[in-house]
Amino acid sequence: MNDPTPPFAAPVGTHDVLGPASAQWEGLISRFADWTYRYGFSLVLTPIFEDEGVFSRGIGEGSDVFRKEMYVFEDRGKRRYALRPEGTASVVRAFVQHRPTTPWKAWYVTPAFRYERPQKGRYRQHHQLGVEVIGTDDPAVDVEVIALADGFYRSIGLERLRLLINSMGHGACRAAYLAALSEYLEGHELSLCDEHRTQWRRNALRVLDCKRPECVTVTDAGPFLVDWLCEPCRAHFDAVVGGLAEVGISGTLSPRLVRGFDYYTRTTFEFVSDALDGAQNAVGGGGRYDGLTERLGGPPTSGVGFGSGVERLLLARTAEGRVDPLIERTLDVFVVDGGEGGPIGPLVERLRRAGLAVERAYDGRSLKAQMKVADRSGARLALLVGTEGPGSTVTIRDLRASESTQQRVPEHELVEALTDRLTKTRL
RNA sequence: GUGGGCGUAGCUCAGUUGGUUAGAGCGCCAGGUUGUGGUCCUGGAGGCCGCGGGUUCGACCCCCGUCGCUCACCCCA
């Protein structure tokens, strides 16, 4: 009973979600489920660990995530696995394995793991929600995915959002651009920042994403991918931007936006919140990955999707002053045992089976104590049973009204009476 | 990987230049007054002051180490 400090705590960079925070999570996730439903998506569940190759080939060995943030381990059968660092690669692997009819529209919410030092809005185990559409390169789908993200974000109260958008090209124009960029960087190697002076060859695109002034100066004067797009890629990008405008969504062309994973082709985008500061202002992002299925052993198949960090979204909501849980989780009735009737268990069960949200107290507490618990439970109504001896009537008491109002009701009319009162108190 | 800040009750925190039984508010429990909650009053439970070592007659306070939390840099959600 008098343990000093508990022997265990959640591991570094992980956290438990309970209390008011868990209501926010429940609300956020159910709201996201609503939005994906409207757009024709269905839920996909995949394991949180995969063969390491799913991620090394998927997100790319040149990505920072793979190089220094992967949670890899060997199991008892000496197989090398990795905890998923993001959502897309697993979903694409599942697509290749099961080959659902296309276009396949799947949504997910899942833990994701990055081995790095935790800080505000960034954890070793965090959670991501997102969608993927696999099996079409129609720019209308890019528009849908972005519109879904935008609509969902706004529905949870994020208003200070900006959409950044870019095209990474595909195939020949991407290759031609990479060659040009490499040639350019080679000539300006000495002017790059400390890290990229030696590392740029690993992944030249990452230099575009570098925020250090040395790199910015160099890349500003160099080639940008949007100027190198081939005709089909150009047309695709124009169709995406045009389609967004048609549905009333405006974005900013952001030629530096290359994102963290190697698999992106053509459309890439990111939503940043001006309510969050600096380095962690991205609340979500995604793009197209037209070569990813092949990398994972499938047929050439186009795909596009986006993902968002749940913790980051909640942080952004808070920063915008939104604390409401987005979902109603209020008890309808709290049953108080007056002690002079029979056991209240059967009555509580009957009400629950009738569809009401019902709670009660335990441990034989006093009437006063039960009323206190009832009050704090947030229930709309208290139901007092057995307060005036055994009988067939119970008392309904409104816990919300400032002037307490009570009504005695015969037990056989109880459900109707409660339903009736609840309808009134909700108005 | 690199730096800064912080570890005292379930929570938020006080704790005087080191000095005896370590405090407050909130929460929790019980009782009183409202027939029966919310307001108010009374009482109570709950702390090896993160952990280990050192200095000292004496350490929550000073020193060293350690673990943990947190914030920032890098990068990402």
Where residue A258 sits, what CATH number does that domain have?
Answer: 3.30.930.10
Whole-number Å distance between alpha carbons of A222 and A250: 27
Nearest alpha-carbon partner for A134 in A250, A274, A368, A301: A301
Same domain, A282 and A260: yes
Same domain, A314 and A388: no
pLDDT at A426: 67
Output the CA angle A48-A49-A50, nearest 5 degrees: 130
CA atoms within 13 A on the CB side of A240: 29
Same domain, A382 and A417: yes
Q: At A139, which amino acid appears?
A: P
**Edge-to-edge strand ranges of the sheet holding A125-134:** A42-43, A104-113, A125-134, A303-309, A282-288, A265-273, A161-167, A252-253
Q: How far from chain centre, in Å, is Cα A69?
A: 20
What range defines the domain where residue A262 resides? 20-171+230-319
Same domain, A295 and A404: no
CA of A359 to C1' of B37 (A): 15
pLDDT at A69: 82
pLDDT at A281: 87
CA of A22 to C1' of B9 (A): 25
- Whose C1' is closest to the CA of A315: which nucleotide? B77
- Whose C1' is closest to the CA of A374: which nucleotide? B37
CA of A153 to C1' of B38 (A): 37
Torsion, Cα A239 A245 A246 A247, to 10 degrees, reads 120
CA of A9 to C1' of B22 (A): 26
Residue A5 lies in a domain: no
Protein residue nearest nucleotide B30, by CA to C1': A369
CA of A24 to C1' of B22 (A): 38
CA of A11 to C1' of B63 (A): 30
A317 touches strand B (CB under 7 A): no
Count of beta carbons in the 10 Å neighbourhood of residue A98 = 9
For residue A108 the two structure tokens come to: 């997910």
CA of A108 to C1' of B44 (A): 50
- Whose C1' is closest to the CA of A336: which nucleotide? B36
CA of A12 to C1' of B71 (A): 15
Count of the separate structural domains present in chain A: 2
Same domain, A294 and A160: yes
pLDDT at A1: 35
Same domain, A286 and A366: no
Protein residue nearest nucleotide B46, by CA to C1': A2
Residue A100 lies in a domain: yes
Tell me the per-residue pLDDT of A76-119, one tens digit each, with 9 for 90 and over. Answer: 999 999 999 999 999 999 999 999 999 999 999 999 998 888 88
Residue A359 lies in a domain: yes
Model ipTM value: 0.85
Tell me the per-residue pLDDT of A177-192, one tens digit each, with 9 for 90 and over. Answer: 988 888 888 888 888 7
Which residues in chain A, range 95-154, keep a C-beta under 7 Å from any nucleic strand B atom? Answer: 114, 116-123, 126, 128
Tell me the per-residue pLDDT of A269-323, one tens digit each, with 9 for 90 and over. Answer: 999 999 887 678 899 999 999 989 999 999 999 999 999 999 999 999 988 888 8
What's A386's domain CATH number?
3.40.50.800
Same domain, A398 and A262: no
Query: Exposed (0-12), middle (13-18) or buried (19+): which is A72, by Cβ within 10 Å?
Result: middle
Residue A305 lies in a domain: yes
Same domain, A341 and A406: yes
CA of A9 to C1' of B18 (A): 33
CA of A281 to C1' of B32 (A): 55
Contact between A145 and A100 (Cβ < 8 Å)? no
Extract the residue ranges of chain A whose pLDDT is less than 70: 1-5, 67, 278, 404, 425-427
pLDDT at A3: 46
Same domain, A308 and A342: no
Which residues in chain A, range 179-198, keep a C-beta under 7 Å from any nucleic strand B atom? Answer: 195
CA of A119 to C1' of B72 (A): 9
CA atoms within 13 A on the CB side of A218: 26
Same domain, A165 and A267: yes
A211 touches strand B (CB under 7 A): yes
Residue A366, φ and ψ in degrees, nearest 5: -65, 160
CA of A49 to C1' of B17 (A): 58
The bases of strand B with some atom under 7 A from any protein CB are 1-3, 28-38, 46-48, 50-51, 68-77
CA of A374 to C1' of B30 (A): 18
Nearest alpha-carbon partner for A312 in A123, A74, A68: A123
Residue A158 lies in a domain: yes
A402 touches strand B (CB under 7 A): yes
- Whose C1' is closest to the CA of A1: which nucleotide? B46
Same domain, A256 and A125: yes
- Whose C1' is closest to the CA of A395: which nucleotide? B36
pLDDT at A5: 66
A379 touches strand B (CB under 7 A): no
Which residues in chain A, range 35-94, keep a C-beta under 7 Å from any nucleic strand B atom? Answer: 64-65, 86
A206 touches strand B (CB under 7 A): yes
